[in-house]
Amino acid sequence: MAEGDGAPSPEVLRKSTAIRFRELLADLGPTFIKMGQVLSTRADLLPKAYIDELGRLQDSAPPIPLEAVRAQIQRALGVPWDEAFAAIDEQPLASASIAQVHRGRTRTGDDVAIKVQRPDIRSRIDTDLDLLYYLAKALEAVVEEVGVYTPSGIVEEFDRAIHEELDFENEARNLRAFAEANRERPYLVVPKVYDDLSGRTVLTMQFVEGTKITEIGDAQYDRKELAKLVVQEAFHQLFEDGLFHADPHPGNLVVLPDKRIALLDFGLIGRLTPAMQQTLVMLTLAVALGDPDTVARILYRVGIPDTRTNLGAFRSDIEAVLKRYMGRRLEEIDAGSLLRDLLDLAVRYRIRIPREYALLSRASVATEGIIRQLDPKMDIAATVLPYVREILFGRLSPGSLQGGLMRGVLRLQELAQDVPAQLSQILMDLEGGKFLVNVQSRQLDELTDAVRRLAVVGLAGMLGAALVVGAFFSLSRQPWSFHGVPILGVVAVALAAMLFGAVGTWYFVVLRLRKIELSKWFRRPAAGRQ
């Protein structure tokens, strides 16, 4: 509460607004629920209160009848359901807005999980997406921060994400890719895909039965050992495979009776290029060592600055964030959020972070929550640094063809060969008068717009004056009249009045309308930035 007057604090108001926003999306239906879930992965776009609330969106729906499930299976596979499966349980294991999951058994006796897409869900989502695109265009017309918060870009990203989720063949490819990447890791289980029983709207997977990783008992399992396995797998995914599970919440990690860990639900994954992996290695090492200069440069390099960034101030704010986390155990750190705080800083300095890093932020926060429950006293820095050192030394190894050192030597050799030729080309262009320099300036752009507006106003004034003069000539001669009223004169005066009115409204009203600055609503109060 606020001091003295009993009014709610800005943090309380922001939280209540986020709750109402989540409830609104839930009431609007499956497309908007999925939209909220996508936004919950973008900690670089929304404040923490909104991210936390959207992360609680429950994607559930009334179950569809078993007959509709069987009909969908027949449409997808091209054969009657009883020729593909020996049995399908009537009660679903889960019923969401896009798909429903049933336990079944194949003709060969294997227990499987059958994911079936709801009938006609694709057409409904496409209709809702058309509305979202219209809303995005309207927002861009009235919201100031379209350089950082791009509504159309967010809707386009959501469009791609939800159509990937609607295509179960894409999830099957993700499952196969994860299975291939983890085939040498006996502690991890990835469900097998039954390709002959799967299609775009039906996905048949190996049935995995176990206990949610956060609900295991201390008597049966070593929680500290499981926490180390979670950290180990996360680093393998990020720095070796370049393929990571973007939604590792506790429901998607189960522990089997033989103490192996199984990953479920591969609808949302992230992919890292070798360059991204290298950047992530350096960023992780810089954060672990508390080096704000390197962290600032890396974030600036991987992001897309919307304006010129004050790197000195950016570096100082990063240093303040790092000081809050260094030397502390996981149980002493507030929920998840070194990486989220760094993303908040990027937003404050108008640096747009690529989607993969935003997904990584969500996955990191979810993984941290799991580790916190398994082993809250784990020293993250001490656990992480050996992995980072091993990966860093491996990449810098001269004997490795994939090593960063070897690539660096090759790049230096290419640079040494290219620079003299490039300098010679520049000197020849200067001597021949062909050297061109492109200059971009916000002030020059504003001056150009002002000149264009002046030209429009001048042309409209000339046309209006010509119409007025013509009206006077018509009034004096009256060649065509109706009941003594000169028609041409009246038309000319009316056109002149309309022209002056339109130009006056455009110049004095439209050009002076200012867009809404959403950052004023989302900005944290000064007292909250401790």
Pairing of strands 269-271, 188-189: unpaired
Identify the helix (H) or strand (E) that includes residue 482.
strand 481-482
Amino acid at 68: A
Cβ atoms of residues 113 and 205 within 8 Å? yes
Residue 228 to residue 379: CA distance in whole angstroms: 11
Q: Which long-range contacts (CB under 8 A, 24 or more apart) does 305-311 make?
A: 305/349, 305/350, 305/351, 305/352, 306/147, 306/148, 306/350, 306/351, 306/352, 307/147, 307/350, 309/349, 309/350, 309/351, 310/349
Sign of the CA dihedral 130, 132, 137, 141? positive
3-state secondary structure of 149: coil
Tell me if residue 344 is catalytic. no
The residue from 52, 241, 247, 341 that is catalytic is 247
Residue 113 to residue 204: CA distance in whole angstroms: 6
Cβ-based burial of 201 (10 A; exposed 0-12, middle 13-18, buried ≥19): buried
Cβ atoms of residues 286 and 262 within 8 Å? no
Catalytic residues: 247
